[in-house]
Amino acid sequence: MVMKRQDVLLEPSISGVPVDPEQGGRKMVEIGFGNGEFLTHLAGLNPDTMVYGLEISMTCVGKAVKRAVREDLGNVRIICGDARFLLRECFSDESLERIYMSFPCPWPKERHARRRVTHRGFSDVVASVLRIGGCFELATDEKWYADEVASILDGHPSLSLISFDVNKRREITTKYERKWLEQGKDIYLLVFEKLGNFTVDRIVDGRCDDMHVAVKSDELDMAVLKDEKLGISEGEDGAHWTLERIYSDSRDSWLIQAVTSDDGYEQKFYVRVVLRENGALVKVDGVCSPYLTPAVRRALDAVAGSIRRS
Ligand SMILES: C[S@@+](CC[C@H](N)C(=O)[O-])C[C@H]1O[C@@H](n2cnc3c(N)ncnc32)[C@H](O)[C@@H]1O
């Protein structure tokens, strides 16, 4: 089989989440794979395992997809986005053999602590998606960060720190690993094992292309769409939505710029309002494919509410 870009790059917001029931079999994840060297090497060493890479940088995603296609690896799948969200939403409980994270940005300043991948809720997600006996492996060049992660994850009732090594050689190295070794830095390698069952709530619920809100013609008041701005910004239960600029070049279709946030996970997309004979339909415009989260649902409801006569 000759692998193509579209075989490797998964867009679960289009194909639906979680991704794993479609695949079956053994699965591993690498978080923040950078140039994709470790990811593809891991896939080559484990041909019977589907290896998923989660990476926030589109440039890194592009490089890794090219590498997987060039090496014709049928067992690599890449998802672009924040791993803190993707790990929880794309993988079900007990679905992963192993999770790797090599040299994540440690964000040393306290005011940036919330940017750390391992911040708030990460240990719960790891404890949920690993199978019992499965492991999370972290490599870092920062001792304070190794200690912090050791204390957070080892403090979780379903996880246990089984090894904390300094300068232990791994079968596969990464670009950053070689860089820090050349500079004479110590490398800390931590392995945590999952010991007991644990679950977390997921928030993605269905697909955006199946979701719309209808407003009947006798309830309609489209006056609000005559302005350039909608100016709705609301929030509740960790879900926030802002609806701003309105674009239209016709009398029966409008686009509204939306930004939503679910517990800090931001999505930008457009809401489309289309006039029909019997009323109006409010839906996510097909050009972007956000995950269908509570904030996205509420943004659609808020647009529908604004064109519904009070
Ligand atoms: C210092 S680099 C390490 C790259 C690679 N693992 C290595 O060791 O060479 C950290 C990587 O993590 C990615 N990253 C940072 N935050 C992330 C997040 N929340 N989700 C997914 N990837 C993230 C960055 O884009 C970057 O590629």
Tens digit of each residue's pLDDT (9 = 90 or more) over 189-205 = 999 999 999 999 999 98
55 C-alpha vs ligand 1 centroid, how far in Å?
6
The SS3 assignment for 298 reads helix
Mutate to test the pocket of ligand 1, among 67, 88, 176, 266 (most ligand atoms within 8 A of CB): 176
* Predicted confidence (pLDDT) at residue 21 exceeds the cutoff of 60: no
Average pLDDT over residues 6-33: 80
149 C-alpha vs ligand 1 centroid, how far in Å?
16
98 C-alpha vs ligand 1 centroid, how far in Å?
17
Please report the pLDDT score of residue 304 as a whole number. Answer: 97
Pick the residue whose CA is nearest to atom 11 on ligand 1.
32
pLDDT digits (tens, 9 = 90+) for 238-261: 999 999 999 998 889 999 999 999
What integer best gives the mean pLDDT of the chain? 93
Please report the pLDDT score of residue 228 as a whole number. Answer: 87
Average pLDDT over residues 1-18: 82
Does the beta carbon of 176 lie inside 6 Å of ligand 1?
yes
Looking up tokens 């309002």 gives: 273
CATH of domain 5-194: 3.40.50.150
Does the beta carbon of 82 lie inside 6 Å of ligand 1?
yes
CA distance readout (Å), 249 to 187, 272, 274 = 58, 13, 12
Does the beta carbon of 52 lie inside 6 Å of ligand 1?
no
Which of residues 22 and 140 earns the better pLDDT score? 140
Does the beta carbon of 150 lie inside 6 Å of ligand 1?
no
Please report the pLDDT score of residue 155 as a whole number. Answer: 96
Q: Which atom of ligand 1 sits closest to the CA of residue 101? A: 6
Pick the residue whose CA is nearest to atom 14 on ligand 1.
32
Does the beta carbon of 118 lie inside 6 Å of ligand 1?
no
105 C-alpha vs ligand 1 centroid, how far in Å?
7
Enumerate the known binding-site residues: 30, 55, 82, 109, 141, 174-177
Q: Which atom of ligand 1 sits closest to the CA of residue 117? A: 19
- Separation CA 304–CA 232 (nearest Å): 12
- Separation CA 294–CA 272 (nearest Å): 18
Does the beta carbon of 140 lie inside 6 Å of ligand 1?
no
Does the beta carbon of 298 lie inside 6 Å of ligand 1?
no
pLDDT digits (tens, 9 = 90+) for 53-99: 999 999 999 999 999 999 999 999 999 999 999 999 999 999 999 99
User: How many Å separate Cα 160 from the centre of its chain?
Assistant: 25
* Predicted confidence (pLDDT) at residue 211 exceeds the cutoff of 60: yes
Please report the pLDDT score of residue 19 as a whole number. Answer: 65
User: Where do the domains of the chain lie?
Assistant: 5-194, 208-306
Does the beta carbon of 103 lie inside 6 Å of ligand 1?
yes
Does the beta carbon of 60 lie inside 6 Å of ligand 1?
yes
pLDDT digits (tens, 9 = 90+) for 269-308: 999 999 999 999 999 998 888 999 999 999 999 999 999 9
- Separation CA 148–CA 168 (nearest Å): 19
Please report the pLDDT score of residue 8 as a whole number. Answer: 93
Looking up tokens 């004979």 gives: 277
Enumerate the known binding-site residues for substrate: 109, 141, 174-177
- Separation CA 89–CA 79 (nearest Å): 12
The answer to whether 123 and 156 are in contact (CB under 8 A) is yes
- Residue 15: pLDDT band (50, 70, 90) is low
